[in-house]
Amino acid sequence: MQSILLTFLIAAALLSPAHAATRVFILSGQSNMDGRGKKSDLVGPLAKYAQPQPDVRIAYSNSTLRGPFATDGFQPLQPGFSVPPGSKRDTFRLPGATFGPEVSFGRAMADALPNDKIVLIKFSEGGTSLHNDWKLDKPGGLYEQAARFVTSSLKTLSDNGESCELSGVIWLQGESDASLPPGEYQKLLTALIARCRTDLGDDTVPFVVVEVFDNHKRDKVRAGQRATTQAVANTLFVSADHLVTSDNGTHFDAASQITLGQRIAAALIPKIKKEH
């Protein structure tokens, strides 16, 4: 992954400064990142998020555990880049009927940075753990699959001659690690951040940790998420306080997914503007 990305960055640096920067954000995690918000609930004040956003692009894939289902390159951002349980290969098509925080995150970033192009690369899979499915050196595991998808997506941008800047990694996961002993999730998450930065060739890329919903069973994960962002440089914490789930304690509903995406953007925007 690293060698392809470095080639991509060198090529981008040689382009004319007149080209608008393409800001790339990587989004990953389990079901709440994949998204179980219903597109049909985007009504009233949320109706604008139900429409395609031609000024923001996304490449999406889930894993081989239930797919993979993936976009053919980059598509305009809209609800539906999500693969819920029970999706069958012979009938399911992207975009589907559910969505994650990317819908409002991409919109907020584009509005805040009107001179830049906003690109999202999303790889997510529901019901997966950091201690097993995302294990860093697991052959064929989710980290390996995500790295491969990110690399191919970045190469697509490079081949298109875009001047790109990796501007953030967003991680929303942890529900499947609730049984870990105290301190273990922090240890695993810290290792994940370090490995991501090494493989991306950028040890300062902002890394956003999004809090899992508090159902009184995930206290150790939530504590690990907060502790990690307090201990690791260039990490940001996004709270899930006051958000609502559609299933009594796990999956954020449509309105809360919109709020969550806005909170992620609000965390990143000041850092990006300050550094540039």
What pLDDT score does 225 carry? 98
Counting the structural domains of the chain, the total is 1
Which mean pLDDT values do the consecutive 10-residue runs of the chain (276 residues) have?
Answer: 41 42 96 98 98 98 96 97 92 96 98 97 98 97 98 96 94 97 98 98 97 94 98 98 95 98 98 83
Count the neighbouring beta carbons within 10 Å of the beta carbon of residue 114.
9
What pLDDT score does 216 carry? 85
Count the neighbouring beta carbons within 10 Å of the beta carbon of residue 201.
16
pTM over 0.85: yes
For residue 229, the enclosing domain spans 2-275
Q: What is the CATH number of the domain that holds 103?
A: 3.40.50.1110
Look at strands 53-61 and 75-77 and give their pairing. antiparallel
Sequence-distant (≥ 6) Cβ neighbours of residue 70 within 8 angstroms: 59, 60, 61, 62, 94, 149
Contact between 57 and 201 (Cβ < 8 Å)? no
What pLDDT score does 19 carry? 53
What pLDDT score does 17 carry? 40
Look up residue 77 and give its two tokens: 């951002």
Count the neighbouring beta carbons within 10 Å of the beta carbon of residue 228.
22
